[in-house]
Amino acid sequence: MGYVYATSACFGCGRIFSYNPNKVPSVRVKDEREPICADCVVRANPVRIKNGLEPIVVLPGAYEPCEENEL
């Protein structure tokens, strides 16, 4: 059994980070899911709440590898 990480640049800050592609928080940009790193979630949530939006909920394991068979 293998483990899989997805790695790409965060949409918010541009930092390369690794995540579980099934669980990572993301925003929709032009019908693409753009992943958001943990730091940006922390930064974005107070702004979202102020604007009357639901805060982004980070699922357990969102920034950990997922099992190969979950893909």
Of 21, 25, 35, 37, the residue at the interface with Zn ion (CB under 5 A) is: 37
Which amino acid, one-letter code, is at 24? V
Q: What residue type is assigned to position 26 of the chain?
A: S
Helix and strand totals (H; E) in the chain:
1, 6
Report how far apart, in Å, the C-alpha atoms of 60 and of each of 19, 31, 50 are.
Answer: 11, 25, 25
Stretch that binds Zn ion, among 11-19, 22-30, 46-54, 56-64 (CB under 5 A): 11-19
Q: Any contact of residue 62 with Zn ion (CB under 5 A)?
A: no
Residue 13 engages Zn ion in binding (rule: CB under 5 A):
yes
Q: Which is nearer to Zn ion, 36 or 66 (CB)?
A: 36
User: Which residues here bind Zn ion, judged by CB under 5 A?
Assistant: 10, 12-13, 37, 40
